[in-house]
Structure 1
Amino acid sequence: MYNLLIVDDEFSVVETLATTLPWTDVEVHTVYQATSAMQALEIINTHTVDIVITDIRMPEKSGLELIKEIYQMNTKIKCVLLTGYAEFEYAKLAITNQVVNYLLKPVSDEEVLNTISGITKQLSEEYKKIVELQRVMKTLQHHKPVLHANFLNDLLNGRKFSNEDLLDKLALLEIPFGLHQDFTMLAVRLEQDFSSHDRNFALFEFAIGNIAEEIFKENYDLFWGKDSQDYLVFLIKYKSHKENLLKERNDWVDIKNSLLHETALKLQTSVKKYLKGTISMMVSNWGLFPLDIPVLHQECITTIRKRIGKDHELFITSMEQDASIEFQTIQSFYEPPSLLQLFDTGRWEAIFEKLSFVFEELVNRYGNSQEHILEIYYGISGAFTYYAHKNGKRLEDILGEHFKPMVSPSLFRSVSILQNWSNKALKILMDDTIKDFKHGRSSVIQSIQEFVENHLEEDISLQVIADHVYLHPVYLSKTYKSETGENLSDYLLRLKMEKASYYLKNTNAKIYEVSTKLGYQNPPYFNKVFKKYYNVTPQEYREMGTQS
């Protein structure tokens, strides 16, 4: 669906076109109205506009001048001239430049709709071309390093992918890794001698990545990026043909590790030689892709961090790991998206699912470890409190009796007790939010209807109503239709016509007075709208009522 702007210094022309045609039939969602070029430019600056219909002759600035400014702002907007016969040749000349079509006054409804229909079809074709596979792939290649890094960070943080989605992602990004393949991890930290080159830090990181690709490429496949803690992280696996050759040897396991360590050391010495800087690195144990990525990453970073400051230019292998890192956090609790992010976006099913993963990991890895139970308790209770306060409420008021256990963490002696309480409290939060949402929508609808009924004698547009209830016009329109089953414009028209019917049948008000009471400053336009609604003119309608 597209948005249309109609511009003409005659208000009746604008209103007639905007409110009497079935715009949705030609893929137009919203019709904006302007009676001057300046007003039109303001609308274009603050709203999404795809098509503009504009008159040529207007005070202060002509339609052609307006179109020129529009194209300086956005070349994708399609412009149509609304012109009289005397300006016909002028209009045809404009088409050779920036105008896609013209409408010759007086214009029929069918001509307008056919013209706009052709333009919306043209826009649809243009958008299809934007997403052509060839263009997408070209863009993909250009941004591949960034996409690789983002994907790697998702894996490092333990983001869950289905096997199908994961394989599609690997294929799309041309990453030569497969499910359940053996891999190892190399974590690299740039040391202080690089910090004096702050402006070129990213360049040094990129250079180290390129050096690594060159050094490892003979025997290994490499997938690398930068993690959230500023470490360069390389996932490494043997190329299939190299691995098959080495497996024929009896000392395959020893060679597997020694060759890897030699290659990693070569990277360390090459960085020092060619980039004049030092790096510390940690080579992890072997694991299965992608399952073991988060655990190996945490082990690498923890080990390096404990040694930084004590030693210089570290080279640590899995055999030197500190055994104390076996006691770790509940990984699934800290994987993105976090509980706070899920609450912010209102993804309740995802919240329940995340907590299910957390408690499953807690039981399987640490049983009823009191420290880990408290770790998860404080994380969950903090997220619940954050959500309540962000919505202007006290968590105690929402949870009622279920709030009491929060002030006594010692009550959560087992995983099952904490899990049961968390699920019940979360369900209460969700139900409270749904209740507020429904009440809020009902209040908005009531406010809209009261405003419309009290301002029928005024020019009530969608924008005016939206400003009154502090909502975007598009969202307002969708909300009203969703809650009432009726378009807001249809409701406004129905209300005006019902009022018109009442005035014509029950009062002696003249037709132009009825027109004014309903916000129609142009009586002929009121007659046209009324006849389209009731199939008779206001006068005929009044006479029919008198006869009955």
Structure 2
Amino acid sequence: MYKMILVDDSERVRNGLKMSMDWSKHQIEIVGEAEDGVEAMELIMDQKPDLIISDVLMPHMNGLELTEKALCIVPHAKVILLSGYDNFPYVQTAIRNGAFDYLLKPSTIEELFAIIEKAKQSLEQERSQVKDVVQLRQQLLHSIPVLKERYLRYLLSGQMSLLDIRNRCDYLDLSIGSHLFACLVVEIDDEDAVAQSARIRDKQLLLFAFRNIVEELLREQLYAEIVENYDNQLIVIVSRAEPMESKYYLELLQAIARKIKYYIQTYYKVSVSIGIGGIYDEPEWIPESSKQAVEAVQYRLYSGKESIVYIGDVTYQASVEHTVYPYDLEKRLCLALKIGDVHGAVGYARQFLRAIVDDFTPTPDHLRKICLQLVYALLRQLIEWDLSDGNIMEITALDEQIKKRKTIEQLEMWLLHYVNDLAHSIEKKMQQRHVSIVQKAISFMESQYAQDISLQDVADVVYLTPNYFANLFKERTNETVLNFLADIRINKAKQLLKQSDLKIFDISSQVGYTDAKYFGQVFRKRVGVTPLEYRKMQPN
């Protein structure tokens, strides 16, 4: 509905306008009437009308003054003036001062209504424009956090000039001061533990909760902006409005870091570590401080969980060139895996990691790469031994698995667990392979027992050396290869003795013995009687 007031010193005119039509059918409500401009102004201040129909000549305040003053209070209102020919110069001035339109007396109600309809259309258009502006403002307000996030990530990329930084900080109303710029990085120590025991197990919600704690602790002491990077770390950009000695500023940052760590542990039962980058005088050094903070928090690998590490306290670590890869331990580990020595394999893996850490103390990133190199070496051996199966499918995820281990203890536990599982998997596959080898050898002996075959012949069939095959066969069957072959031959001879009238010499030849006398000795030794006696014992 549109609110309208009528202003005229003639009650007859006002009543005539009111009674001329059913205004409500046209979405218009007459909210008041006045007989002069002064009375009308009180009504305007009270009702804030959309439409004002006013005479020009009235006592105390004419329509011209009323138009000017009314539009100061309700600038959106549409003023329609009713004027005689003698007053037309007044109307022209009023139009220039903002009146919407005029109507010369005498006129019909249809003419007045046509002007009112135009005024309504203008009001509707303006309302729509205002609505669009409000929506745009709301969209801008909603998008500002996203714009801030994008800008902060762009800032941390190091691709912005000092002027760009200043301009965008003002535009986005960022909390970045003018002195002592530094970055802190907050990172969860054990993501797997979070999934099991934290009060909030959704990582994104948890980081949002951390952000609230950090903002609360920093609000009264420092300017701070927080952004989450792509490694699920919170990067906190801090600065001050006033100068301060760097050493005292560092102490302040370390004290705040301790509080952040304490409150996160207390409220959310999550262990975090915090890295602190270098402190600089200009904001263009923020990207460098951020990189340093990310690097600093990695040294929790050596200092353990719940660490606060300042980049200035990180001592020189061995470079890639100065780290000697322990190939001898890698070979021993591979051999232990090959022979199924699970305990030995795990022990060599532990020695491997300790040799690197104790002798060279490489950077956390390089240590993880060395562990990845070892795992790749083990997987290459599996391929060579034709034992890879599904293990190779895991290779793309190994790097991520290793990166998730934030301390030496976590890294060692993961490596030993991985080697242990690998060793058991290899042991199981080797057992299956050995069973297959023995079965193949037995099948060969059962089909070729009539031939003059030796241990070498059977070993050749399964592509093993005679000694290795003999030991494997004895381990799996509790029999030597030759004894097992003799059993096959004697059992076949017993069948022939039962089921045929063949001579002993012929039977001996058919079961692989060229010397009938030797066949008789072997038969007697295994059966307890001679071949002839055995035949006589059978029922007719």
Say yes or no: TM over 0.5: no
TM-score by length of 1: 0.36
Higher Cα Rg, which structure: 2
TM-score by length of 2: 0.36
